Amino acid sequence: MNLNQIISEIKLPDTNNFDKQELLKSYPEPVSRYLRYHLPNGIPGDNYVEVRLKGIIKLVNWSNFKSTLYANPYKGFLWKAKVNMGVLPVKGFDYFMNDTGAMNWTLFNLFGVMKADGEDVSRSAEGRAKMESVFAPHLLIDPKINWGVVSENEITATWTIHREDQPLHFILGDDGSLKEVFFKRWGNPGDTKDFKYHTFGCNILKEDLRKGVMIPKKGNAGWWFGEKEYDDGEFFRFEVF
């Protein structure tokens, strides 16, 4: 698939027919508190999210980036970015769509820098597709999701796009704001030989209202979330602009 095809798939209208307001009423209090906080103006009808992010990403060293994310938590995502590795402009993308994930990054749009695909990459990308749902809380009111309550300030959301069924854990403030999100993601952080599940997560440092939806404004993300190894596993610091 080319990039335009992926974006078109993400933007395709949802054919499901259910009453989101009635479904929201059925959710337990910590879940409804999270959704009410993030949807202060009601439930918008958009079926995907498009958001621009900038910040720094750790490849070899920390490098500045600007990017655009397109995402639908039941279909997949596309992340297009430009990374400035010193004076060298690296452009590329990561995606998951139609049960397949891949990445492709080039220097000067000519020389390959990083390219990966295959089953393990697809499984890791599928997990990320679900993680990007934090930018689309209005799409999390759906019968596909099984919501669970761990405590008054921790809820879980479980659904499957293709095969990955690890629940997302949301850590909430007392007002319903989002503080952390984490889950078990398939991957090989540190370029270890074998892929397996590791805790991947994001600290939400600030939220902001965009198009009537409260979304993460600033945060950091990486592997071994909540563990001492996170100092090495953190590789992404972002801000929405």
Residue 83, strand partner residues: 65, 90
Which pLDDT belongs to residue 113? 82
**pLDDT tens-digit series, residues 103-160:** 999 998 777 788 999 999 999 999 999 999 999 999 999 999 999 999 999 999 999 9
How do the domains of the chain map onto residue ranges?
3-240
Sequence-ordered list of residues with C-beta below 8 angstroms from that of 205, at least 6 positions apart, any chain: 217, 218, 219, 220
Percent of the chain with pLDDT over 70: 100
Closest to 72 (Cα-Cα) out of 47, 52, 96, 95:
47
pLDDT of residue 191 exceeding 90, the answer is: no
Cα 182 from Cα 169, distance rounded (Å): 5
Fold of 3-240: outer membrane lipoprotein receptor (LolB), chain A (2.50.20)
Q: Rounded to two decimals, what is the model's pTM?
A: 0.95
Beta strands 178-187 and 76-85, pairing class: unpaired
